[in-house]
Structure formats: C-alpha cells, structure tokens
Amino acid sequence: MISPLAYIHPEAKIGNNVEIGPFVFIDKDVVVGDDNKIMPNVSILYGSRIGKNNTIFPGAVIGAIPQDLKFQGEESTAEIGDNNTIRENVTINRGTAAKGRTVVGNNNLLMEGVHVAHDAIIGNGCIIGNSTKMAGEIIIDDNAIVSANVLMHQFCHVGSHVMIQGGSRFSKDIPPYIIAGREPISYAGINIIGLRRRGFANDVIEKIHNAYRIIYQSGLNNSEALLKIEEEIPMIPEVEYIVNFIRTSERGILK
C-alpha cells in the first residue's frame, strides 16, 4: 500500500489501510488517519492533520507555510476532516498566529487548482470549483457551492447553501441560501433548486424568500430590514440564521 518511492518522515504518524503512491513526500509532525488514498507527487508538509477516508490527487500540497509576510514560523496546522476529495494541484496552507489553523471539514470536493489560504475555515459538504482562490481567514459554511475561477477576498464569509457563479470576484459577505452572480456580482435570487434538492420544505423556502424580499427589495437599510423580518416572519432556524449572519457581518453583505 506504500510505494518504496515515497518519502515518509520517521516521526510522521500514518494510520491503517493508507495507500501512498510514488514520489509522495510526508514531513514530520504530520498525522494521516485511516483509509486514505494519497496519489503520486503529493506533498503533505509539517503541521498537517488528515482525517479518514480522503482521496488526495497528484500534485496537491497540504500544509505549506502561509503566503503571509506576517508569518514568523509559529506553530500552526492545516486540518482536513474525513471523506474529502482533493483534486490535482490543490494547495492548502497552514495557519498563522491569527487563528493557528486552516480547516477543511468533511465530505467536501475541492476541484483542480483550488487554493485555500492561511486560517481559512471550510465547513462540510461544500463543492469548490476548479481554480477558485480563497484568501486568508475566509469562512465558508456547510453545503456551499462555489463555481470555478472565483476570487474570494480575505475575511469574507459565505453562508450555507449558496451558489456562486463561476468567474465571480467579491469582497463582501454572501448570506445563506442565495444565488450570487452577474457582473459585477450581486444578489440573483434564492437558491430554490439547491434548497429543494437538500430537502427544504416549501414553507421554509417561502419564509427564506420573504426574508430576502425585505432585505433586497424593501428599500430599507440592513438594520431596518432585520427588525422588519423579526416583526413579520416567524423565527424558524433558517430565518434566524439569515438575521444573525447579516447582523454580525463585518464586511457587509452582497447587494
């Protein structure tokens, strides 16, 4: 299961039933869990933590030092959960003193050429398209779909169940359950098809839609819109998530 042409540092910890192809480099202070498949020419560097049942395709680099001039060699990690597919030439940098770790959760697909910068946090069940680049300290919540060639500014937050059009670039937060598209990028409706595929009930989708009508079509500022939502729409968990997301947004939301 382990090619004799791979290099594994004697201090690295490798789990059971791990397949490691030729020309793989695994550094010290690396932990690889059970049932992973690591294809040829993958580099897993100092500070990487990899869970179970991941497939990592050729040319991926996990745990390289941050591309941040403030980084001073501090101890940090790049943490990957379980059941992820990490395609060719994906790069996932480890954290800095800001948060100490970069995190990719479970059941994600990171397509070819994706870059995950220092201190980023990607949730569970996300699909990140080819050549999408995520800057430092971004957050992507669960079940988001980010299409190909998207540029995501540092500190941005993307909500759950969004769909972001390919080729987009943005520096504002993208609230949950919406489609973000057009040029320049803007709100393009709620992600009805995605929500139905995920099993959201029609009455829940309607309440989400009503909340966004107030946010984007009432002419109110965000604070006024959120108060109106709280007065007029039942605070089911999905609506409460929208309200809290927007209220705590530090960069402001997409318009």
The set of catalytic residues is 118-119, 136
HEC-encoded secondary structure of 123-137: CCCCEECCCCEECCC
**Residues 215, 228: Cα–Cα separation, whole Å:** 9
- DSSP letter at 241? H
Question: Are the C-beta atoms of residues 191 and 173 closer than 8 Å to each other?
Answer: no
The HSE-up count of residue 241 (CA atoms within 13 Å, CB side) is 17
**Residues 224, 215: Cα–Cα separation, whole Å:** 9
CA 153 to chain centre: 13
Question: Are the C-beta atoms of residues 205 and 233 closer than 8 Å to each other?
Answer: no
Radius of gyration over alpha carbons of the chain, in Å?
20
Q: Kindly state the helix (H) or strand (E) to which residue 13 belongs, with its residue range.
A: strand 13-14
